[in-house]
Amino acid sequence: MAESNGKLREISRRTALGALGAGIVGATVASWPRLTGMDIPGRGDNSLSIAILGTAADAAARQRVIDAFAKVHPDIKVKVQAIQAADWKDFFTKILTMVAAGTPPDVVYVATEGAQLFAEKLAHPLDEYLRRDAADMKEYFADVHPSLVEAFMYKGSLFQLPIDWNAANIYYNTSALQQAGLERPADNWTQVDFRNTLAAMRKAKPQDFTPYYWTNRLFGGVVPWLYANDTSFLKESKSTGGEWLWDSFYAQDPSRALRSGGYQWLEPNADDPRVYESFDYLRGLVKDGLGVRPEEGGGNSLVGLFASNRIGMTPAGGYWVEGLHEAGMKEDGFDVQFFPRWRTQRHQFGTAGYAIMKTAKDKDAAWEWLKFASSLEAMRLVFPTPNTTPARRSMVNEQLYAGRGPKHWKVFYDTLDKFPTTGPIPAPPQQAAVETALMKNVSLAVSGDENQLKQALASMQRDLEIALRRQA
């Protein structure tokens, strides 16, 4: 009996272990696609895998474009992979992790912030394709401002075709302006006018209201003020080359002489007296309660605050229109104007477009996607609402802003047309380190006395030197 019980115990233990083993094997088999990454879109088949910054819903929204592409290129299968990230820096990090893991996408949607990093290390130049399909591409370039294209030039080669972009314009609350007894600011208003406007707003609405709200980041933070004052925190220069593109597509453009082989940011410039002057101006706004001390991070919460009439003015791009509309702001509740003039009225912008990875399985197919994605047909499908500014001038029209505002929507594209020297976000291949160096010193620079400002700029200069010395 005891022996029998022992056997029973032995059998049940064996059975249990067997079941456990079978369970492990079963679970491993079931999760094999996940473990090996085979369930990543585009892996395991010949699909062209495209990575974009966004959610699964954003990927699904691209489906109409994919369907339209399939009609033109039934032989090329496309899969869009949306990667959720807090910001572009975070997105690029995730792409790099995919590269390290041996599962890079074929095509990546890259913004100005990462354009040079990708051009330097990861992306394939488009020059040969553009030369080959020059006839097809003439219509695209005729509709896209050369400043946007130049932002994607790197050492004489073009790496991306701009699809959407945004400049740092000034959004203002129309009722706050009226309460202050002011008219719409003039197109060529100055930094002095800007300050006076803030002071009038403050006087008219002293309670629970912030005349100027800005966040501490690379786009729309301190940089537009530096650009307006004809300076920057990095010394800007341009590389040679690129004539092949400008002569082919922009030979007749009035700004042809300004164009180059791409921007370069090789040295820090935080010790420039104009940088001090710009920071001191912002410090004055903060000190006098006209502007906030900038918080680090994005401006998502800002849309709600602006829509509830608690903010007078803030710098933002065309991407804000849809956000304000969804937040319930009436089309005449806000408007936009150019960034104020100082020594210049040069603006800051950021743009984005697809880049073909060096590791792409089929670069020809990837190019066909880029070409299609930049077509009027595809861009109309992607941008049915003004949640960004389309790179094509013809799409920035009355129809896009109907029922949403702002009244002066022309400001968006005029920023490029009227100020052809308007420049991209300063983003060398070491952008992440450069951005950290800038952001960490801005709030200290504008929140204390003159000594603190000097110390913060000295610290920024030192941090930028270290950042630029590092390999990208």
Partner 1 sequence: MSTRRRNGAATSETGGRQRQRWLPWAFLAPTILGMGLFTLVPIVASVVLAFFRWDIISAPSFVGFDNFAEVVQDPTVRVSFLNTILFVVVAVALQLGLALALAIMVQEKLPAWLRVFFRSAFFFPLILSAASVSIFMRYLFNEQFGVVNWLLSFVGVPAVPWLTTPAGSAAVVILVYVWQNFGFSFLLFIGGLASIPTETYEAASIDGATGWRKHLHVTLPLLSPTTLVASVMAIINALQVFDQPYVLTRGGPGDATRTAVMVIFESAFQRLEFGQASAIGVILTLIIMAITAAQFRLSKRFVFYQ
Binding residues (CB under 8 A) for partner 1: these are 17, 89, 93, 96-97, 99-100, 121-122, 210, 213, 216, 292-297, 301, 305, 310, 430, 432-433, 436, 439-441, 443-444, 447, 456, 459, 462-463, 466-467, 470-472
If the CB atoms of residues 285 and 373 are measured against partner 1, the closer one turns out to be 285
Distances (CA, A) of 395 to 99, 116, 274: 35, 27, 37
Minimum gap (Å) between residue 141 Cβ and partner 1 = 31
If the CB atoms of residues 40 and 99 are measured against partner 1, the closer one turns out to be 99
Minimum gap (Å) between residue 324 Cβ and partner 1 = 17
Residue of 124, 123, 106, 105 whose CA lies nearest to 114: 123
Contact status, residue 357 vs residue 107, Cβ threshold 8 Å? yes
51 HSE (CA, 13 A, CB side): 27
Minimum gap (Å) between residue 321 Cβ and partner 1 = 22
Cis? peptide before 406, omega within 30° of 0: yes
If the CB atoms of residues 344 and 459 are measured against partner 1, the closer one turns out to be 459
Minimum gap (Å) between residue 137 Cβ and partner 1 = 30
- Here the tokens at position 69 are 């592409």
Contact status, residue 348 vs residue 234, Cβ threshold 8 Å? no
Q: What is the DSSP letter of 357?
A: B
Minimum gap (Å) between residue 252 Cβ and partner 1 = 40
Q: How far is 160 from 352, CA to CA, in rounded Å? A: 8
If the CB atoms of residues 96 and 182 are measured against partner 1, the closer one turns out to be 96
If the CB atoms of residues 113 and 164 are measured against partner 1, the closer one turns out to be 113
> Which amino acid type is present at position 390?
P
Minimum gap (Å) between residue 29 Cβ and partner 1 = 17
If the CB atoms of residues 293 and 418 are measured against partner 1, the closer one turns out to be 293
Counting Cβ atoms within 10 Å, is residue 257 exposed (0-12), middle (13-18) or buried (19+)? exposed
If the CB atoms of residues 335 and 435 are measured against partner 1, the closer one turns out to be 435
Phi–psi pair at 137, nearest 5 degrees: -90, -10
Q: What is the DSSP letter of 294?
A: P
Residue of 168, 167, 224 whose CA lies nearest to 191: 224
Minimum gap (Å) between residue 146 Cβ and partner 1 = 30
Residue of 428, 89, 415, 431 whose CA lies nearest to 236: 428
